[in-house]
């Protein structure tokens, strides 16, 4: 595994640093990785999350069977335009664990 780390740079003419954004701004362009429990469908989980967070637009980037568990990517607001890209590309996951 190769991990590349680069310090992010934010241009003051094109937005602001993520830590300076309001919760509303973060949720309007958010990407949430949810550990789906067995039982509900991916659609039900995304609808519950949308209602819980009070969002107008929230969708999921892939379908898990109702009794399957696993990572369900949720996309909110402006991030929903990435749904097609998420669905058509191979997925890989990177985790960093510290004991």
Rounded Cα distance between 84 and 36, Å, is 20
Quick one: tokens of 43? 């659609």
Please tell me which residue in 20, 35, 51, 65 is annotated as part of the active site.
Answer: 65
Quick one: tokens of 90? 């191979």
CA torsion angle 26 86 83 20 (round to 10)? 10
For this structure, is 51 an active site residue? no
Please identify every residue annotated as catalytic: 65
């Amino acid at each position: 595994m190769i991990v590349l780390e680069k310090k992010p740079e934010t241009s003051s003419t094109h937005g602001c640093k993520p830590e300076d954004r309001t919760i509303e701004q973060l949720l309007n362009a958010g990407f949430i990785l949810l550990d789906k429990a067995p039982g509900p469908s991916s659609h039900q989980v995304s609808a519950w999350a949308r209602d819980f967070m009070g969002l107008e637009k929230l969708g999921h980037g892939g379908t898990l069977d109702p009794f399957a568990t696993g990572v369900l990517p949720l996309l909110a607001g402006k991030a929903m335009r990435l749904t097609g890209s998420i669905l058509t590309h191979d997925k890989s996951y990177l985790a960093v664990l510290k004991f």
